[in-house]
Every structure is written in C-alpha cells, then in structure tokens.
Amino acid sequence: MGPGDYHKESGQNGPQLDSSPSSLKVITANGDLILEYVAGDSAATTSHKWQVASKLLASNSPYFQALLDPTKFSEGRQFNAQKESWSETQIQDVASHHTLPTVTLPSVRPTNMCGEDAIELFLRILCLDSIGETERNVFEHELKVQPTSLIARMIDLADSFNSPRIVRNVLRRIGYAYGKAKPALFARFNAGLLSMREDRVRQTIFISTFLDDSRVSRLMTHTLAVVGSRFWINGLEDPEEEDLRWKYLPNGIEVTKPCPRPEEIYYRRQCVLNTITDLQAHFLRIYGGMEDDSAKPSRANRSLGAAFMTSAPALLHSRQFHCRGGFNNASQCDLFQLGQMVRFFSMRAKTIFFGSTLINPDFSATPEDEYTVGESNDQSTGPSLVITAIIASLKQYPDYPIDEAHTGCGIRRRIMPALECVEKFVWDDRGLLGISPASDSVSESTSSRWIPWADLLTRKHMADVSFARVTAVYYPSAPSKNQVTRSTPQEELCRLLFTAARRDWSAAGSN
C-alpha cells in the first residue's frame, strides 16, 4: 500500500479535534516538520504531534520519501510551500514551532492498531542521527529492554510504512533483549519458556523472525508447538484482517491463506500428538486381541477371503497373550489390563474418548435452552494442551495387577521407554520441533532455508522404537536396510519418528 492509498482511506477533511491543546513532543530539536496523528473515534479524539526532520524521514523511509515528494502527492507540495513560507519568516523562538509545516498521518489500520507509542518509537528510530551521542546512548539502552508488545507493534507499523530496513538495523546493532529477558532464558529450551504467556511467545517469534535471529526463532516456535495455541482449540482459523500480524504469524509459519498445506507449527505439533495417540492405540490393540502380526498373511499370499477361512479356535490359539505369568487365566489378565488402560486413558489422562458412530453431531433431541442434569460446560476438566504435561500424565500410569500372581503384567514397563523416547525429543534443549524462518527481505542460501516437514514425506517410512530411542527406519524401496546410524542428527530422528507412516512399538519395552 502506498502513501496515496493511505490518504484516500483517511479522507481529506479528517476527524474533528477536541478543544484541548495538543502537546508537541520534540524528537529533533531543529526539525522542520510536525507530524500529527489523531487517535480515537467520532465521540472523543486525541491529537499527538512530533517535531521531526523531514530529510531523515525521507532518507530512512520510502513511505515518507514518497509522501513528502512535491512531484508525487499533494501533501508533498503543501509541505514544501509551507516550509518555504516558514523559512522566510526566520523566527527562531519557541513560538515558531507552531508555525512549522504540519502533515497528518492517516488514521487507518496500521496506525490505529499499533498506537501512538509505537508511532513515536518508530519516528525516533528514523530520526536517530539527529540527536547527540549521549542522548543516543540513553535512547538505545532504553530501546534494548522495551517490552515485546511495543517492539512487535512498532515492527508491524514499520513494515506497513515500507520502512523495515532502518528498524531492523538498529535493533540488531543494539542487541535487542526481547523485553528485559535474561540471556539464559533464550539460550536453550527450558521450562521457563513454557510458562510464558502466549502473546509474548508469539511476539518474540515475530520479532526474532524479523531480525533473522534463528536461535530464538527455533526455540520459541518449538515452545509454541509444545504448549499449543488458544487459536487452535477448534481447529485451524483464518486470520482476521484487523489483527496485528504477530497474532497470526506470517512467512508460512502459521497463516493459512498463502499456504495450501497446514501451518507448519500446527502441523509439527499434530505430528507429535498423533505419535502419542498411536502409542496408546498400539497397546489397546494388542491387549484387545485386535493386532497380531504373527497371524497376518503376507502381502503376496493375501486374498479377499483369507479372513473368513480361518476358524475361531485357530485364531484364539494363535493369539499371543501379554500376561507375564503364563497362567491359565492369561486371557482374563489381558482383558483386565485392557479395561484399566481404557479407564486411565479416558478418565485420568483424558487422552482418548469414546463416542458413537451412529449419532449425527448436528442433531440434538434436546432444545438448546435445556440441559441434562449433571451436565457441565466447564472446559477445565479436559486434557492439558501442553505436550510435556500430556507425557507427564501418561508416565503416571500405575502397574495394575489382577492379583498378586500377576505383578508386572500391565503396560507400565512397556510404555515407559516409548514415552521417554517421545519426551527426549520434546524436551531437547535445542528445540527440535522449532523452525528458523528467514525474513523475506533478506536473500537466503539454500542451506539456511527451513523445509516444511510435509515436503519431506516423499516416501512412507516405518520407524522402530527400542530402549527409549529410534533404532531403525525402513523405507518401502529398501525394507531390510537400517537407515539410522550414530551420525544421524537428532533433528532428523525427531522428524522421522513423528512423521512415520507406521511405528513399531513392540520393541519399546521387554516382556
């Protein structure tokens, strides 16, 4: 959007000011221009004015360069005419400030959403070369510890005004600290990052992406993938036009419309949750007798009627029980463990639920204004959204024995190594689920680009999990070849585990 577009939307007359005098803030002492911003609605408006240097604005901002150009816009012609008239008077006292040429900033989405504090900070950066060294050092020291909410809004404004370069250079040079954060907080992924508010997490991602700070971007996108988002509770949502950009992260990280595939952070989070779900389903299947690889016919010998030609006694005889005791009541032991699994996963961990395939979710026999006795709308009873909390909950699974002779027949000894394998990748201090997006304005080499996980799924693979680690990866083209070596990076093992078409959990724990 160019300067002309902004002023077309704001109108020529503009909103009416209130009767109270507007305070003038001097950014450049010998500035030759007053920028005015009128904030508020039709009922109450407030005027903000800043004295700035037009040459610095034009040299550091393409937007202001075009706006103040007398050959392009009426604002530029009026400014130059007023400037010549003011120069001829040669008034040097304080009262001359009120006679300086004035240009009004448009009251549109970028300025209204970002606010006058972000506008002032943006103008101070544009006019930074107009102040002395001592004052400049003080300003840069204060800028370094400004909260992420202000810096994120200022970056959004600078981008809207087509002036990101000067802002990026200044923030990089001073080493912006992401809102008084301790350096150790962003050194490695840790529990402290999980306790941050979602807004601050998003603002930090937005700022680090803008500054091409790959380390912070990776850690914070990993954090968002682990804790989840309030915008993802009901599935993917498209951004609202009036929202600030950090609420729906750009550059293919989260925004849906420019990307034909799911957002990358959401996609990676769902891959982890699908893996945890697959682990639970594995034990429900084997203890429920719904999966027995030894009884399955090979693909070459499989026929349409093979399942119907096998008698029930043969299936019962071929079924492998998971009771460690090997007693005659092994079948009852497995069924007992199956029931305890269903109870724990559905009622304590709340990671599975049971429903009916016969019910139309859009049909309700009860009027909307009525409710069933005992029914509650309290969402606090639902499962945790934080992946680390989900894993910690599942690790509380006790060892349920049907009697004293069946100690250790449950899944605890077998599910713990698998959970530790998943947990190892989630808690890795390098942020293995994170991404390091590069700024659109910076040319990037092929090696520095982040690649979406979905783009790497050219071949369906199977992962073996044993002794709390990924021990093998098999591809259809080479089913007998072990694809995992000691030199395989942890980032690659993380992706291979969470994006596998199938996982062999049978070797995760000993019988």
Q: Residue 325's pLDDT is what?
A: 64
Task: Work out the pLDDT band at 41, boundaries 50, 70, 90.
Answer: low
> Which range has the worst mean pLDDT, 79-83, 181-185, 221-225?
79-83
Q: How many CB atoms lie within 10 A of CB 379?
A: 7
The pairing of beta strand 45-52 with beta strand 24-26: parallel
Does the pLDDT of residue 197 top 80, yes or no? Answer: yes
Based on the number of CB atoms within 10 Å of its own CB, is 472 exposed (0-12), middle (13-18) or buried (19 or more)? middle
Which helix H or strand E contains 199, and what residues bound it?
helix 198-210
Contact 223, 178 (CB under 8 A): no
Rounded to an integer, the average pLDDT of 47-58 is 90
Mean residue pLDDT across the chain:
78
End-to-end Cα, the chain, rounded Å = 65
**Window from 124-138, 336-350, 419-433, 450-464 with minimum mean pLDDT:** 450-464
Non-local (6+) Cβ contacts of 479 within 8 A are none
Which of 132-136, 170-174, 380-384, 400-404 has the lowest average pLDDT? 380-384
| Between 20 and 362, the higher pLDDT residue | 362
The tokens 């713990």 sit on which residue? 416
- Partnered with residue 52 across adjacent β-strands are 33
Higher pLDDT, 366 or 511: 366
The structure tokens 């544009």 sit at: 126
Q: Specify the amino acid at residue 161.
A: F
More reliable by pLDDT, 105 or 239: 105
Q: What is the pLDDT of residue 262?
A: 58
Count CB atoms within 10 A of the CB of residue 214: 17
Is the CB of residue 112 less than 8 Å from the CB of residue 39? yes
Residue pair 33/54 in contact by the 8 Å Cβ criterion: yes
Q: Residue 458 pLDDT > 60, yes or no?
A: yes
> Is the CB of residue 32 less than 8 Å from the CB of residue 89?
no
Indicate if the pLDDT at residue 287 is higher than 50: yes
Q: Is residue 42 scored above 60 in pLDDT? A: no
Query: What residues contact residue 212 under an 8 Å CB cut-off, 6+ apart?
Result: 438, 439, 442
- Is residue 318 pLDDT above 60, yes or no? no
pLDDT at 323 over 90: no
Write out the H or E segment, with its range, that includes residue 465. strand 462-466
Question: How would you class 412 by CB atoms within 10 Å of its CB: exposed for 0-12, middle for 13-18, buried for 19 or more?
Answer: middle
CA distance 332 to 462: 32
Residue 255: pLDDT band with limits 50, 70, 90: low
Residue 297 scores a pLDDT above 70:
no
Domain positions in the chain: 1-180, 182-295+319-354+381-441, 446-504
How far is residue 503's CA from residue 271's CA, in Å, rounded to a whole number? 13
Identify the band that residue 403 occupies on the pLDDT scale cut at 50, 70 and 90.
confident
Position 456, amino acid: L
Reduced to 3 states (helix: H, G, I; strand: E, B; else coil), residue 33 is: strand
Most confident of 13-27, 248-262, 467-481: 467-481
Can you give the pLDDT at residue 326?
A: 65
Name residue, tokens 């990089």. 172
* pLDDT for position 309: 37
Q: Which of 49-58, 94-103, 323-332, 372-381 has the lowest mean pLDDT?
A: 372-381
Tell me what pLDDT residue 4 has.
47
Sheet containing 502-504: order of strands: 469-474, 462-466, 502-504
168, pLDDT greater than 90: yes
The tens digit of pLDDT for each residue in 406-415 reads 777 888 989 9
For every residue of 204-245, DSSP letters joined together read: HHHHHHHTT-HHHHHHHHHHHHHH--GGGTTS--PPPTTS-G
Q: Is 80 exceeded by the pLDDT of residue 473?
A: yes
